Amino acid sequence: MDSMGLPINICIVEDDLELSKSVVRYLDGAPGFRCLGAFASGEEALEFIPQQQPAVVLMDINLPGMSGIECVRQLRVSMPALQVIMLTVYEDTDQVFQSLAAGAVGYLVKSTKPSHILEAIRDVQTGGSPMSSHIARKVVQAFRPAAQAEATGKHLTPREQQVLELLAKGAPYKQIGDAMGIGIETIRTYIRRIYEKLHVHSRIEAVMKYMDSRERSARPPKGASR
C-alpha cells in the first residue's frame, strides 16, 4: 500500500499471455496491490494506461510493433509521474541504458522472484531505483570510468556502509532490514542520509559512486612495487 494506506495500482505490458496472467494473479493476491490492466502491445498500452492512471507499470521490452522502450518514452510524456519498471529477459547494457534514458526507474529480469517484484514496486514508490543485482553491477561498471574519484566511504558510518553494500548486491529493502535487524522505515532513513552525504538522488548513483571509491582506494599507489 502507499503512504495513505491505499493499494498501489499497477498495469502490465507483456505479450506473453501466460506470464501476464501469472503476474496479474500474483499482484491481485498480494495485500496492498491492485492490477488495473494487462496489455499485450505498446500501442494498446498507450491507448488505455493514461485512462487507468496506475502508479506503476511493469514493462516488457520485446513487444509486437512498438518496443517497450519507445512505449515508456511516450507514456512518460503524457504521465510524467508514472513509475515504470522494465521486466524483461534482456540483460544487455545498451537495453538497460536505453530504458533508463526513456524514463524507466527500475530494471528487473523475468527470473526475479515474485516477492522481489513486489518489493521493487514498493521501492519505486519511495524514490528507489530497483535493479536485479547483476544488472546493477553492469550499470556500475559502465559508469565507473566517468565517476568522480572521491573518498566516499569515509563520510559514511559503518551501518550506512553496510546498507550501501547490500544495495550494491541488489537486495530489496525488506532483505536489508532482515539482515541488519531493523525495520524498513529505518532503512529508508539510512538511505536518505546516504543520498545526502554522497550528493546523489538514486540507488544507482549511490552504488556507482561508492564502488568506484572502494576500487580506487584498493589500487596500489603509482610506482609501488607489485
Rounded to an integer, the average pLDDT of 8-15 is 96
Domain boundaries for CATH 3.40.50.2300 within the chain: 8-130, 140-218
What confidence tens digit (pLDDT) does each residue in 66-112 have? 999 999 999 999 999 999 999 998 877 778 888 888 889 899 999 88
Cell representation of residue 200: 546523489
Domain 8-130 has CATH 2.60.40.10: no
Rounded to whole angstroms, the Cα distance separating 153 from 206 reads: 11
pLDDT at position 225 is 47
Give me the amino acid identity at 142.
A
Strand positions, DSSP E, 92-186: 106-109
What confidence tens digit (pLDDT) does each residue in 23-33 have? 999 999 999 99
Would you identify the CATH topology of the domain 140-218? Rossmann fold (3.40.50)
Categorise residue 41: left if φ over 0, alpha if ψ from -120 to 50, beta otherwise: beta
Instruction: Please state the pTM of the whole predicted model.
Output: 0.65
217 to 152, 200, 221: CA distances (angstroms): 10, 20, 9
